[in-house]
Amino acid sequence: MRQRFAKRGTFFELVVVVVFAIGLALAVQAFAVKPFQIPSGSMEPTLKIGQRVLVNRIGNNFGDPDIGDILVFHPPVGANSENCGVDPEPHQACGEPVEKESETYFIKRVVAGPGDTLTIRDGHPVVNGVEASEDFARPCNAPSRCDFSEPITIPADHYFMMGDNRPSSEDSRFWGPVPRDWIIGKAFATYWPPDRIGIF
């Protein structure tokens, strides 16, 4: 009889431990660290299609993103069709955010922040008159996607995002800066495939 109760007690403990572990894993994903799979080639060569990264959601609540950070965020509605909030001037990137947030997720790199003045030359951001040094970016040779000589100013609490695959990335050049509130978190590590495991 005592052995039967002992077995029931052990089984009950196992169930409690499993439920607790699942709950803890879900809580970590919801509030701390979220896995994310790269859906497109817009961040190549840095991140390849199907590669998996970990996104820090806690840090997003305690500090502002820095230029160079790789972020997961909600783009605006119409991002896939290059829908800007206004009609830009000729040779000008989209400087006005679209007001409505989409439910999809994008991953891009921050190239300019609130208050920065931005132009783009050969696919490289020129922020406040200084061209960024970006040996990670894929060369850009399509003028309509790579050269935006008319300056824009990034609005308060907004961030200008670009994919590292500059000739083939739908990003802020075409649909505008992203509000701070739409940012999910910063990608800080890659865990799959095994040959690309590492910290950013």
Give the ranges where 54-171 is alpha helix by DSSP (H).
143-146
Q: Does residue 161 register a pLDDT over 90? A: yes
Q: What share of the chain is helix, strand, coil (3-state, %, to 5)?
A: 25, 30, 45
Q: Percentage of the chain surpassing pLDDT 70?
A: 82
DSSP structure class, residue 13: H
Question: Does a cis peptide bond (omega within 30 degrees of 0) precede residue 114?
Answer: no
Our CA dihedral for 42, 188, 156, 106, rounded to 10 degrees, sits at 30
pLDDT digits over 131-146, tens only? 999 999 999 988 888 9
In 10 A of CB 189, how many CB atoms? Answer: 14
Looking at every residue in the chain, the average pLDDT score rounds to 85
What's the pTM?
A: 0.82
Q: For residues 73 and 63, what is the distance between their CA atoms, to the nearest angstrom? A: 15
Q: For residues 116 and 176, what is the distance between their CA atoms, to the nearest angstrom? A: 14
Quick one: average pLDDT of 175-199?
93
Buried b (16+ CB within 10 A) or exposed e, 33-58: ebebebeebbbbebbeeebbbbbbbe
Place of tokens 């500059």: 166
The amino acid at residue 68 is G
Q: Does residue 25 register a pLDDT over 70? A: no
Quick one: average pLDDT of 180-199?
92
Q: Are 179 and 143 in contact (CB under 8 A)?
A: no
Characterize the bridge pairing of strands 130-131 and 148-153.
Answer: unpaired
Of residues 199 and 107, more confidence is placed in 107
Q: Does residue 31 register a pLDDT over 60? A: no
Task: Give the active site residues.
Answer: 42, 108
Characterize the bridge pairing of strands 178-179 and 52-56.
Answer: unpaired
Q: Percentage of the chain surpassing pLDDT 90?
A: 64
pLDDT digits over 33-50, tens only? 789 999 999 999 999 999
Q: For residues 164 and 46, what is the distance between their CA atoms, to the nearest angstrom? A: 7
CATH architecture of the domain formed by 34-199: Ribbon (2.10)
Residue spans per domain, the chain:
1-31, 34-199
Residue 170 tokens, joined: 């739908």
Of residues 96 and 12, more confidence is placed in 96
The pLDDT assigned to 81 comes to 78
* Burial label, 155 (beta-carbon count in 10 A; 0-12, 13-18, 19+): middle
Of residues 29 and 57, more confidence is placed in 57
Confidence of residue 23 (pLDDT cuts 50, 70, 90): very low
